[in-house]
């Protein structure tokens, strides 16, 4: 067990909602005897311990209570009940531009923010060039931030905070407004901070980032914890909330409306033999058996491949490839076989599959990251895939050298 930097016990937050503006006055004049409000619990009995150097993702639908939790931990909201404790220097990247003066330049806001946070004069002098370089704002760094876009504002805020070396770093969706290149840069910096022992709480709808960067994840709905544990499981449970859950097949839950069930998943080589692993650059069939529980006029079939970090490598669907299937009747069983040349490099990959109503996004059945499949070869080419077939080096003369990979 490492040192616990964040701890909450039965943390709760209640808001009073008044249907009419006069309700507050009526309650005040009656010394609370006349109730004119409805109670809304944004957070209920939330318990969590986060150790030093740990990154914990907070996921859930909009309005689940994620931002309320982070605002309490950041000190911008007071809890209604329970208690919490945070050790060390805490920096929070919550709502964009909070605490920034619109009339001051980016540089002036950095200096002013450092002063307000209690850093000594000149603390950022040696870090200012790093902040400027990381933010990539160019000449706008010395212009008023009232002319900044939301993306420029988050560049400034994130760049400033990461070079202040916090013990606890809290990020709430702010990175979502940045461009893709800057987001990748930010997550790389977060990786460096975690390696240096910084503790991080991350709220994001980028679920692949939760799987890739977080050691644990918390799923919140309606202000209550539904799950605390493996990031991939938290993400899958959240997707089940978004897409619906049918009766389990075997012991595994499936998303969809229940008009189909994915009964079995397996892999075959090009001879039709069942395999449990494969060398790279070999033909492979990804297979699954579907039972239809209702009448379906047209169905589309798909599959995905992800890395263990949640990065999507392949996403394929039958209708986009020009195939049409159906109709199917309740009780029909079919086997879907996807044949492919497996050019993935060595490593383990998650395969998932689904059945949708044709040309719609509505699932009859879906199993995400259902099976883990290892590619057994040594990685002779860096990256995720090995597309190389042949290398040819030709001299100006007739001499040539050719090698096959």
| pLDDT value of position 253 | 63
**Residues 47-62: pLDDT tens digits?**
999 998 899 999 888 8
| pLDDT value of position 391 | 78
Please check the confidence at residue 27 and state whether its pLDDT lies above 70: yes
Please check the confidence at residue 355 and state whether its pLDDT lies above 70: yes
Of the ranges 64-78, 102-116, 245-259, 327-341, the best mean pLDDT one? 327-341
Look at residues 196, 195, 198, 176 and name the one whose alpha carbon lies nearest to residue 186. Answer: 176
**Mean pLDDT score, 324-340:** 95
Please check the confidence at residue 79 and state whether its pLDDT lies above 60: yes
**Mean pLDDT score, 264-289:** 88
Map out the domains of the chain with their CATH numbers.
Answer: 52-239 (3.40.50.300), 252-375 (2.70.50.60)
**Residues 295-324: pLDDT tens digits?**
999 999 999 998 876 778 899 999 999 999
**Residues 143-173: pLDDT tens digits?**
998 898 878 888 888 888 888 888 898 887 7
**Average pLDDT over the chain, rounded to whole?**
83
Buried residues in 30-47 as b, exposed as e (16+ CB within 10 A):
eeeeeebeeeebbbbebe
| pLDDT value of position 250 | 40
Beta carbons of 259 and 358 less than 8 angstroms apart: no
| pLDDT value of position 98 | 58
Please check the confidence at residue 254 and state whether its pLDDT lies above 70: yes
| pLDDT value of position 7 | 93
State the angle between helix axes of 150-162 and 180-195 in degrees (0 to 180), rounded to the nearest 10.
20
Please check the confidence at residue 273 and state whether its pLDDT lies above 80: yes
Please check the confidence at residue 248 and state whether its pLDDT lies above 50: no
> Where does the pLDDT of residue 247 fall: very low under 50, low under 70, confident under 90, or very high at 90 and above?
very low
> Where does the pLDDT of residue 362 fall: very low under 50, low under 70, confident under 90, or very high at 90 and above?
very high
| pLDDT value of position 404 | 55
Cis peptide before 51 (omega within 30 of 0): no
| Portion of the chain with pLDDT greater than 90, in percent | 30
Please check the confidence at residue 34 and state whether its pLDDT lies above 80: no
**Mean pLDDT score, 197-220:** 84
Please check the confidence at residue 174 and state whether its pLDDT lies above 70: no
């Amino acid at each position: 067990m490492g040192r616990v930097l964040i701890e909450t016990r039965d943390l709760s937050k209640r808001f009073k909602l008044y249907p009419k503006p006069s309700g507050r006055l009526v309650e005040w004049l009656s010394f609370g005897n006349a109730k004119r409000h409805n109670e809304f619990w944004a957070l209920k009995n939330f318990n969590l311990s986060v150790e030093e150097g740990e990154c914990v993702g907070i996921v859930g639908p909009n309005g689940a209570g994620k931002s309320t939790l982070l605002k309490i931990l950041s000190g911008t909201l007071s809890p209604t009940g329970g208690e919490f404790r945070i050790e060390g220097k805490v920096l929070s990247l919550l709502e964009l531009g909070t605490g920034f003066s619109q009339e001051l330049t980016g540089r002036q806001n950095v200096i002013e923010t450092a002063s307000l946070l209690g850093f000594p004069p000149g603390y950022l002098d040696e870090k200012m060039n790093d902040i400027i370089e990381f933010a990539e704002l160019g000449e706008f760094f010395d212009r008023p931030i009232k002319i900044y876009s939301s993306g420029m504002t988050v560049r400034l805020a994130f760049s400033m905070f990461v070079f202040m070396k916090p013990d606890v770093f809290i990020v709430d969706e702010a990175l979502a407004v940045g461009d893709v290149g800057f987001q990748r840069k930010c997550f790389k910096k977060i990786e460096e901070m975690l390696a240096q022992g910084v503790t991080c709480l991350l709220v994001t709808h980028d679920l692949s980032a939760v799987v890739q960067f977080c050691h644990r994840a918390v799923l919140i709905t309606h202000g209550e914890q539904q799950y605390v544990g493996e990031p991939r499981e938290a993400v899958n449970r959240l997707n089940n909330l978004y897409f619906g859950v049918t009766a389990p097949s075997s012991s595994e839950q499936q998303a969809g409306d229940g008009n189909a069930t994915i009964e079995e998943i397996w892999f075959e080589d090009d001879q039709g033999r069942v395999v449990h692993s494969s060398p790279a650059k070999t033909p492979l069939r990804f297979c699954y058996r579907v039972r239809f529980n209702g009448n379906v006029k047209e169905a589309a079939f798909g599959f995905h491949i992800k890395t263990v970090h949640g990065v999507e490598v392949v996403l394929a669907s039958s209708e986009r490839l020009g195939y049409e299937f159906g109709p199917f009747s309740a009780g029909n069983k079919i086997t879907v076989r996807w044949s492919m040349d497996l050019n993935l490099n060595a490593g383990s990959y998650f395969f998932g599959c689904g059945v949708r109503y044709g040309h719609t996004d509505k699932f009859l059945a879906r199993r995400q990251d259902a099976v883990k499949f290892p590619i057994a070869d040594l990685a002779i080419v860096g990256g995720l895939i090995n597309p190389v077939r042949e290398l040819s080096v030709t001299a100006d003369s007739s001499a040539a050298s050719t090698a096959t990979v």
